[in-house]
Structure 1
Amino acid sequence: MVNRVKKGRCCCCGRFHWLTFHHLIPRKMHRRNYFKKRYSKTELAEGIMVCRQCHNGIHRFYDEMTLAKTFSTLESLNADPRLSEYFAWVARQKIKPG
């Protein structure tokens, strides 16, 4: 599992912070036939770099199946009203040193 790999700009909140890798189709779904038949291994491995706070929020709001079927692109994540409101809130938070 990829954890804090580098500092950069979170593609959800826009803050410059440590980033983590978020699989657009959660790894838990990769072994299911529905996803094996519809996506290549390369597509299943695709993801985005997000800060830990945004990453936690994504998984707090939606379960893995919903994320895999409905929110498998950065555009769909940012277009969701609940998530976009949360990302806007995160963008206003101060970054703790460390």
Structure 2
Amino acid sequence: MEGTCELCDRNGIELTIHHLTPRELGGSLLPIAYLCKSCHKQVHALYSNRELAIRLYTVLLMKDDEALKKYLKWIKKQPVTRVVKIRKSKTK
């Protein structure tokens, strides 16, 4: 499915479903967000499912997170056709 990523706001990009509360922590039937593959991978590379469930359970909270703000500033400048390499967090 193509559309606009709810995190980086890039348009015309392939989207994935991100469970705002991870499924393993009871989020199967809770709200979801449509994120591009790059943003989805970055969110999971930076944060554990537990931290996502406790602290980053809405798109607005993710957009306001300091580490994700830096990433979002950068990714918004990238063309939607670019394959982005994601680095895992050293503190995760």
TM-score by length of 2: 0.80
**How many Å separate the matches in 2 of 1:47 and 1:22?**
6
In structure 2, stretches of 5+ residues that fail to align are 83-92
Q: Which amino acid aligns with 1:10?
A: C
Q: How does 1:15-94 map to 2 (within 5 A)?
A: 15-16=10-11, 17-30=13-26, 42=29, 45-94=30-79
TM-score by length of 1: 0.75
Q: Which residue number corresponds to residue 11 of structure 1? A: 6
How many residues of Structure 1 are paired with residues of Structure 2 in the alignment? Answer: 81
Larger Rg over CA atoms: 1
Q: Which amino acid aligns with 1:29?
A: L
Q: In the TM superposition, what whole-angstrom CA distance separates every residue of 1:11-58 from its partner, at most 9, and x where no partner exists?
A: 11111101111000011111xxxx8xxxxx74xx21100100000000
3-state SS of paired residue (1:94): coil
3-state SS of paired residue (2:53): helix
Taking only the aligned residue pairs, the percentage that are identical comes to 30
Indicate the RMSD between aligned Cα atoms, in angstroms: 1.7
